[in-house]
Amino acid sequence: MDPKSGDIYIISKREEQVGIYRVAYPQSTTQMNIAKKMGQMKMSWVTAADISPNGKYILVKNYTGIRRFKVGRKTSIAEALTRKGKNMPYKLEPQGEAICWDAKGKGYFTLSEASENSPQILYFYK
């Protein structure tokens, strides 16, 4: 969710070219909300994403890496996500499915789903 506008952004998961969708604020609690396709990312098989508390950066994770996208004053979230993004540090996990910023937006956490013989490790990157 965009902390500035309240818009909800959704990134599709199981596609070679993942779609970027937006549900504009205010969302209805009594009627169906329609997500509008805003573009496509240059990433595939996205598993997780998070917007920093100040709304300036977005982390997007797939099974093999993490990219950070910068949202500028004149750049929307959808526009930022259509760019290449910056590769970020990431230790490959058995089935990495989660990412989130820390409370101050200075670092981020990742976590894998459980697999048969691998422990779940919560990683922190600064």
Residue listed under structure tokens 């956490």:
109
Residue 89 has pLDDT above 90, yes or no: yes
Per-residue model confidence as pLDDT tens digits over 8-22: 999 998 777 899 999
Q: CA-CA distances (angstroms) from residue 104 to 51, 55, 69, 125? A: 12, 11, 17, 13
Helix (H) or strand (E) holding 80: helix 77-81
**Please, what sign has the CA dihedral across residues 64, 80, 34, 26?**
positive
Binning pLDDT at 50, 70 and 90, where does residue 126 land?
Answer: very high
Strand bridging mode 66-70 / 123-125: unpaired
